[in-house]
Amino acid sequence: MEENLPGSALAADYLVDLSNVVRDRSLGGPGPRSLHRFRLVIRALVHMTTDSRVAVHPVADTSLLGGAREFADRRDVTVLRRWISAGLVEEVDDADQRMLELLELTSAAGTRAITGDRFVGHRREHPWLQGDNDRFLRPVPTPSGSVRLVPLEMGISVDAEISRHEELAAFKKQGLLRNSRRPPSTVVNRFWRCPERRCTLYDAHSGRVLLPRLRGGVPTCEVHGLPLADAGARPAMAQLKLMVDGICKARYTVEEGTRTGIGRNPTAGIALYDLLPDRLAPRISREHVIVSTAGGILLVRDVSTYGTRMRTLNRHGRLGPWARLPNGQSRRFAPGDEVELSPGVVLTRSGRRFPAELAAAWQTPDGKPSPPTAASQTTSLG
């Protein structure tokens, strides 16, 4: 279970509105509050993504533990306390606000949230919620006692929609729109430091890096309420998954500016031999593909004996047909694209992007976060 909790929204594939899930009696489990419901959600995610290491960042409000008496199973309280003190669960005063903030910060990466809440009261502040069908999944019980995740369609809240237009009009008049928001990529791709000397909440060396809270667009320390200082660039990573016969067998991170050979047993890079069944291994070359970056874009190049196929996501979030990669030529490897080393052995790229890709994704004409097509695609593999 804890292997699914990386302790950082940046490293997570999914955010979970923990209080909402734990309080949802329709999911089974005893009492008004039950951590069992959260376990069922993790199980559903593992099933849906075929990835036993699927990474989840739960956000809880302080009232979840504040109402500890409502947990039918006292062990839930102990576990929850431990997770919070270890930083595996982010505890804040206002989880709704934080969930939406994290969704905005990770919008270009396409991180999705699990909740039954439609956030109607937040639509004036977060107009992107209107009509959204991509970023939210809702847990629903199945007859067998497990949980299934279905898209949560946000729909349009008419009153909020009207206010939004009024607000946009007012902003435009004052020329504030352009400056009112910091592009999330500039927050996500920097390290931050609290001016309070003993505060290590955002310490780059802690291994787990908390994304700062934004107060009026300014990264702010959650505890001290002080504006955070910029502590330098955060090295960018892309994540690859190895799928064997449709099951995620391993996850790898590729750092910007590196060159990584991937194959049965490359001299340097990612060796797959102990992850491949005997029938598949002989079709994979010792070094099969090379993944590298250029100008902040991830590239893949075929260097194999038997060839490599690739299919890419189109603008509508659908995968195109398989096409053979021309040997020795680099091709762009975007989130959601699939590279097939041999039938049954596929590398996919998860939603997280490099800054250059993030910045490009942010520059949509209306300034709205672009839809998380890549993530929808990678999670529909089950």
Total number of residues that touch Zn ion (CB under 5 A):
6
Map tokens 């919070």 to a residue: 84
Is the CB of 93 or the CB of 274 nearer to Zn ion?
A: 93
Which token pair is 52?
């036993």
329: enclosing H helix or E strand: none
- For the segment 322-381, give every residue that binds Zn ion (CB under 5 A): none
Is the CB of 85 or the CB of 180 nearer to Zn ion?
A: 85
Residue 196 identity: E
Binding mask 105-134 for Zn ion (x = CB under 5 A): ------------------------------
Segment near Zn ion (CB under 5 A); pick from 31-39, 64-72, 86-94, 198-206 = 198-206
Please report the DSSP string for 78-99 in residue order.
Answer: HHHHHHHHTTSSEEES-HHHHH
CA–CA–CA angle 299, 48, 27 (5° rounding): 145
DSSP, res 227:
B
Minimum Å gap between C-beta 196 and Zn ion is 4
Is the CB of 110 or the CB of 212 nearer to Zn ion?
A: 212
Minimum Å gap between C-beta 202 and Zn ion is 7
- Residue 200 lies near Zn ion (rule: CB under 5 A): no
CA-based torsion, 24, 25, 27, 30: positive or negative:
positive
Q: Among 199, 231, 237, 244, indicate the residue that binds Zn ion (CB under 5 A).
A: 199
Is the CB of 69 or the CB of 208 nearer to Zn ion?
A: 208
Minimum Å gap between C-beta 218 and Zn ion is 14
Is the CB of 2 or the CB of 196 nearer to Zn ion?
A: 196
Measured CA to CA, the distance from residue 353 to residue 378 in angstroms comes to: 14
Which token pair is 54?
């699927």
1 touches 39 (CB < 8 A)? yes
CA 102 to each of CA 16, 331, 346, 359, 367: distance values in angstroms, whole numbers, following the listed order: 11, 31, 30, 17, 17
Is the CB of 196 or the CB of 245 nearer to Zn ion?
A: 196
Widest CA span of the chain, in angstroms?
A: 66
Measured CA to CA, the distance from residue 236 to residue 86 in angstroms comes to: 25
Minimum Å gap between C-beta 231 and Zn ion is 13
Minimum Å gap between C-beta 8 and Zn ion is 17
Minimum Å gap between C-beta 225 and Zn ion is 8
Is the CB of 218 or the CB of 223 nearer to Zn ion?
A: 223
Binding mask 216-245 for Zn ion (x = CB under 5 A): -----x-xx---------------------
Minimum Å gap between C-beta 244 and Zn ion is 44
124: three-class secondary structure by DSSP: coil
Residues in the chain: 382
84: closest CA among 29, 5, 20, 25?
Answer: 5
Minimum Å gap between C-beta 18 and Zn ion is 23
Measured CA to CA, the distance from residue 292 to residue 186 in angstroms comes to: 23
Is the CB of 166 or the CB of 196 nearer to Zn ion?
A: 196
Minimum Å gap between C-beta 262 and Zn ion is 41
Q: Among 2, 93, 159, 196, indicate the residue that binds Zn ion (CB under 5 A).
A: 196
CA 64 to each of CA 9, 67, 76, 93, 196: distance values in angstroms, whole numbers, following the listed order: 19, 6, 11, 10, 28
Map tokens 């030529």 to a residue: 329
CA–CA–CA angle 72, 60, 353 (5° rounding): 135
Is the CB of 203 or the CB of 256 nearer to Zn ion?
A: 203
Is the CB of 102 or the CB of 194 nearer to Zn ion?
A: 194
Q: Among 194, 280, 310, 313, indicate the residue that binds Zn ion (CB under 5 A).
A: 194
354 touches 258 (CB < 8 A)? no
Minimum Å gap between C-beta 194 and Zn ion is 3
- For the segment 172-191, give every residue that binds Zn ion (CB under 5 A): none
Which token pair is 305?
């004996």
Segment near Zn ion (CB under 5 A); pick from 89-97, 136-144, 214-222, 337-345 = 214-222
- Using CB under 5 A, list all residues that contact Zn ion: 194, 196, 199, 221, 223-224
